[in-house]
Amino acid sequence: KQKTGCEIASAKAIGAEHVDRPLVEGDSFGVGSVQLRALATPGHTDGCMSFVLADESMVFTGDALLIRGCGRSDFQQGSARRLFESITKKLFALPDACLVYPAHDYNGRTVSSIGEEKAFNARAGGGANERDFVEYMNTMRLPHPKLIDEAVPANLRSGCPEDGRLPPEPDWAEIRVTYAGVPEIDAEWLEQHFDDVTVLDVRLDEEADDTPVTRKLVDLHIPLDQLRDRLDEVPKDKPVVALCRSGRRSALAVKILEEADYERVASLSRGLQQVSQI
């Protein structure tokens, strides 16, 4: 919000700070032709909402309805009975063809449909009644989420830092942070700043040997699986740019370096495939 001037919309029931549009059931909002309708679906928490496209072709269900499951209901004013009602009376009332996009999925799935969940959801589908659902949920005994004591206050601040100030942004390069939280630079920037950084190649030895032209680009070669044991070889006097063939392994290398208190690090976006000299 501080960077872009965007508005923050959130369920009015939550009572969160820094909210521009406190939403209640039936409220509509969106950008241009994309309009969403707010649907109150409490039960996981008392402020959970789902958002339905105007033509009911898609619904974004947060943690209320997951793919073949649902959110837990044993903390943050959760209620298994209210969650069952939200799922079966509101979400399952949408067209069977309506695509379901939950907040997350631990098995890598991204989309289901109302029809699929009505038939196959392990907790609320297949003809389950309220008693089936409530007994199932009350018997799960899930562990307390590790970061919940940090997440709840942050949610109630709408993500605003406690001191109200944005964390400092890297100023040593044109950094782009990916959705996975990995700082990246592009090939064009690197090609113009080779002398200003330490270029770390985290490919396997045979990969580096197969592309000898990269030797003039690379300052240091440490295969990814050896990096944690050889951190003392990575200098800190200059920023470190990690690279590999595609950018996947170098992204993990950046995380390893950040955990070891390297502050000026980035991955080469899309790896060596994007470097014009290769």
The greatest distance separating any two alpha carbons of the chain, rounded to the nearest whole angstrom, comes to 68
CA distance 59 to 36: 9
Tokens of 116: 């699929």
Task: Examine the pLDDT at 212 and tell me if it is beyond 70.
Answer: no
CA distance 167 to 182: 15
- Which residues are paired to 10 by β-bridges? 22
* pTM, full prediction: 0.71
Place of tokens 């690379």: 218
Number of H helices, E strands in the chain: 7, 16
Sequence spans of domains, the chain? 9-156, 176-274
Helix (H) or strand (E) holding 189: helix 187-192
What residue type is 261 in one-letter code? D
What residue type is 227 in one-letter code? L
Percent of the chain scored above 90 by pLDDT? 76
3-state SS, residue 49: strand
pLDDT of residue 213: 65
Question: Per CATH, which fold does 176-274 belong to?
Answer: Oxidized Rhodanese; domain 1 (3.40.250)
- For the segment 174-201, the average pLDDT, to the nearest whole number, is 93
Q: Which residues of 174-190 are buried (b: 16+ CB within 10 A; e: fewer)?
A: ebeeeeeebbbbbbebb
CATH no. of 9-156:
3.60.15.10
- For the segment 237-257, the average pLDDT, to the nearest whole number, is 96
Digit-coded pLDDT (tens) for 143-173: 888 888 888 899 999 988 888 887 778 899 9
Digit-coded pLDDT (tens) for 35-67: 999 999 999 999 999 999 999 999 999 999 999
What backbone phi and psi angles, to 5 degrees, belong to 62? 55, -130
